[in-house]
């Protein structure tokens, strides 16, 4: 089905006011995810993850429940990130190739409305996936830890959706946008470990080079979100984090989403369509 068909119900009067335009874009974006059978894919992922976790439980000698929960949580988190990033990038590239992006931006509405409409649709998808992927864990772990895990998964998926949208609008190609998004995600996930490694040298043979490397890594850590602090498996096994810690992680996610959105809007406004 062509991308433009799902926008057939967008009336000119909707584009005159930002809120109907944003609502219509968000609804059609979520409808596109349904028609692409993403939720069937999510159900298959949940089934496969449960099967693998059950298999490991059978072969594990000790701590079978911990191994089962850790594997299931890791698989579900990675699958959710992959689904969101892939859908955002491929959806935007397909719309650009079908000239739907030009059609939407030609409407008498601000370009910020177009961005907000698309991002709200992707945010609804992220919220739905986080809820669907948290449900299988409900039979294994306490509710408090699962709730914190699910909230932080929503935060992580919102950041991934914002980064994917920025990369695809800037790079316009599937491979380059996906590579940039994956690089950002892996770097944000491992930056804390990189800081530890950079500062763990016991014998300093090249002190200047080590200081430069350590300073570079510390600078990167300042500008990247601490994704390694989100969606932690130990919350499922040992209990939920404190309310202050959880609120701090949510606030950090909101700030990074706002910063990435600002960069995306700047890039969107400077382009000629």
* pLDDT (0 to 100) of residue 159: 94
Distance CA 109, CA 73 (A): 41
pLDDT tens figures, 17-56: 667 778 888 888 888 888 888 888 888 888 888 887 777 6
Going by C-alpha positions, the residue among 132, 92, 149, 128 that lies closest to residue 268 is 92
The first and second tokens of residue 126, run together, are 């992220």
Torsion of CA 248, 254, 257, 261, to 10 degrees: -150
Task: Let me know: does 190 contact 225? Beta carbons within 8 Å.
Answer: no
pLDDT at 8 over 60: no
Neighbours of 11 (CB within 10 A): 11
- pTM for this predicted structure: 0.86
Between CA 7 and CA 120, with CA 41 as vertex, the angle to 5 degrees is: 40
pLDDT: is 251 or 49 the higher one? Answer: 251
* pLDDT (0 to 100) of residue 240: 76
Distance CA 205, CA 248 (A): 39
Buried-state track 167-191, b at ≥16 Cβ within 10 A, e below 16: bbbebeeeeebbebbbebbeebbeb
What is the enclosing helix (H) or strand (E) of 95? helix 64-97
- For 76-203, list the strands marked E by DSSP: none
Distance CA 187, CA 216 (A): 13
* pLDDT (0 to 100) of residue 259: 92
φ, ψ of residue 61 to 5 degrees: the values are -85, -45
The most confident of 101-105, 221-225, 227-231, by mean pLDDT: 227-231
Q: Which of 83-97, 177-191, 205-219 has the lowest mean pLDDT?
A: 205-219
Summarize the confidence of residues 171-186 as an average pLDDT.
90
Task: Let me know: does 14 contact 24? Beta carbons within 8 Å.
Answer: yes
pLDDT tens figures, 89-125: 999 988 888 887 777 777 777 888 888 889 999 999 9
Torsion of CA 109, 111, 114, 118, to 10 degrees: -170
Q: What is the DSSP letter of 255?
A: H
Neighbours of 133 (CB within 10 A): 25
pLDDT at 161 over 50: yes
Task: Let me know: does 162 contact 260? Beta carbons within 8 Å.
Answer: yes
Which residues neighbour 65 within 8 Å (Cβ) at sequence distance 6 or greater? 57, 140
Q: What is the DSSP letter of 129?
A: H
Percent of the chain with pLDDT over 70: 84
* pLDDT (0 to 100) of residue 217: 75
Summarize the confidence of residues 220-243 as an average pLDDT.
81
Taking phi first (over 0 means left), then psi (-120 to 50 degrees means alpha), and beta for anything else, what does residue 202 get? alpha
85 pLDDT band, cuts 50/70/90, is very high
pLDDT at 205 over 70: no
Task: Let me know: does 125 contact 30? Beta carbons within 8 Å.
Answer: yes
């Amino acid at each position: 089905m062509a991308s433009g068909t799902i926008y057939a119900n967008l009336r000119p009067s909707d584009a005159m006011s930002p809120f109907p335009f944003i609502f219509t874009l968000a609804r059609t974006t979520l409808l596109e995810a349904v028609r692409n059978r993403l939720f069937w894919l999510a159900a298959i992922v949940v089934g496969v993850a449960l099967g693998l976790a059950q298999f490991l439980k059978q072969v594990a000698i000790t701590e079978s429940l911990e191994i089962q929960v850790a594997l299931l949580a890791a698989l579900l988190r990675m699958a959710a990130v992959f689904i969101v990033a892939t859908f955002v990038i491929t959806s935007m590239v397909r719309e650009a190739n079908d000239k739907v992006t030009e059609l939407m931006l030609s409407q008498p509405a601000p370009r910020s409305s177009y961005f907000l409409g698309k991002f709200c649709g992707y945010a609804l998808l992220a919220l739905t996936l986080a809820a669907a992927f948290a449900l299988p864990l409900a039979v294994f772990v306490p509710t408090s830890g699962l709730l914190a895990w699910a909230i932080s998964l929503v935060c992580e998926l919102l950041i991934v959706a914002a980064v994917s949208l920025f990369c695809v609008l800037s790079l316009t190609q599937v491979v380059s946008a996906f590579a940039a998004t994956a690089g950002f995600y892996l770097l944000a996930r491992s930056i804390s470990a990189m800081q530890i490694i950079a500062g763990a040298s016991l014998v300093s043979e090249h002190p200047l080079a080590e200081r430069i490397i350590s300073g570079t890594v510390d600078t990167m850590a300042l500008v990247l979100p601490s994704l390694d602090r989100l969606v932690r498996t130990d919350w499922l096994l040992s209990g939920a984090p404190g309310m202050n810690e959880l609120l701090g992680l949510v606030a950090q996610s909101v700030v990074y989403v706002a910063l990435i959105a600002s960069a995306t809007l700047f890039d969107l406004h400077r382009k000629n369509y």
